[in-house]
Amino acid sequence: MKKIVSLIFTVFISHLGMAQENMTFQAEIANKNGNTLFIKEGRKIIQEVYADDKGHFKATFPIKEGMYTMYDGVEYASLYLKNGYDLSMTMDAKAFDDTIKFEGKGANENNYLAEETRLDGQFDYTKLLASEEAEFKKAIAEKQKNDTARMTKAKLDAAFVAAHQKELEMNLAGLQQEYSQVLVIKKMNGKKAPNFDYENHAGGKTTLESLSGKYVFVDVWATWCGPCRAEIPSLKELEKSFHGKNIAFVSISVDAEKDHDKWKTFVTEKQLTGIQLYAAKTAEPNFIGAFNINTIPRFILIDPSGNVLDADAARPSDPKLKTQLEGLVK
């Protein structure tokens, strides 16, 4: 009998432990953008939270402790989640960042993230990236100091602080990388553009030197890049507007070598216009490397003499580009 009672108690404790390996997330959202909230870790969807017939969201699920994002189909919010949390969120989706508020277990850390997002939205990153190098370093050091002081003052969970500190360091590294690109751009403008010698989809190879005497608008892209593909209709319209004028539109694919055939098929099926080139990694000189291109799409404008007019030109979807080209191209 004792063995049976012991077994029942063990099973009970086991089930109790399993029940605790969950968290609950619920939300009431005014002017919601959809009926599903996605809890994501990077690009991976970890959990979907559905609205009931009253429009309220609620789900209970197991989670690995750490940083996540919530996506409502339009915008993102940062979250810190772990088992045992019972987190309630309220928000008006028309004022997404300004109205997010959390209650319940785990609210302290998540309200901190929401407030940080609001403060971050007030930070002038455009001005920072346009600043001189010494000023940039000073501003970054000050931002790090303020972020650390704010976390210390908030008396947050130690595990959250460690995880978020790591995230802040990654964001800072990304910002510094972006600033390095800005410095390269500043140095490239007005200088002779490096030549390229790339495979042409239409056959043979094409060099930048062969386009001498024309303005050259370069689009660096890849078939897997969503923002790149989004610019294709605008680029086609731009090419049509300047057809027969003294400008060449050159699209350079940086698809991996394993996707070379995918690139060829994509260009044909989508009926891409302009000069379509493929930048093999073995190609020399390294046009892509010279412009420090580590994010795409990237657009470059070169003058008829082969000098760089703008190493980070506006996108085809930006009306400023067409206005700029109309002032240059005859």
**Measured distance CA(58)–CA(25) in Å, rounded:** 6
**Measured distance CA(289)–CA(298) in Å, rounded:** 12
Judged against a pLDDT cut of 70, whether residue 40 lies above it is answered with yes
pTM of the model: 0.61
Say which residues have a Cβ less than 8 Å from residue 190's Cβ, sequence separation at least 6. 307, 308
214 with 304: CB under 8 angstroms? yes
Rounded to 10 degrees, what is the CA torsion of 267, 268, 274, 275?
Answer: 70
Q: What is the mean pLDDT of the chain?
A: 89
pLDDT score at 320: 94
| Percentage of the chain modeled with pLDDT above 70 | 92
**Measured distance CA(76)–CA(160) in Å, rounded:** 19
Least confident of 74-83, 253-262, 285-294: 285-294
pLDDT score at 283: 52
Average of pLDDT values for 69-91?
95
> Residue-wise over 165-194: b if at least 16 C-beta within 10 A, else e?
eeebeeeeeebeeebebbebbeebeeeebb
Give the residue among 92, 46, 97, 82 at the shortest CA–CA distance from 156: 82
11 with 3: CB under 8 angstroms? no
pLDDT score at 285: 53
Average of pLDDT values for 254-272?
94
* Domain spans, the chain: 2-107, 125-188, 197-328
Judged against a pLDDT cut of 50, whether residue 1 lies above it is answered with no
The CATH number given to 2-107 is 2.60.40.1120
More confident residue, 219 or 183: 219
Average of pLDDT values for 284-300?
83
**Measured distance CA(170)–CA(329) in Å, rounded:** 42
Count other Cβ atoms within 10 Å, centred on residue 43: 6
Average of pLDDT values for 209-216?
96
**In this predicted model, what pLDDT tens digit does every residue of 222-245 receive, in sequence order?**
999 999 999 999 999 999 999 999
**Measured distance CA(295)–CA(242) in Å, rounded:** 27
pLDDT score at 284: 52
The CATH number given to 197-328 is 3.40.30.10
Q: 288 falls in which pLDDT band (50, 70, 90)?
A: confident
Least confident of 145-149, 234-238, 240-244, 278-282: 278-282
Residue recorded with tokens 């559905």: 50
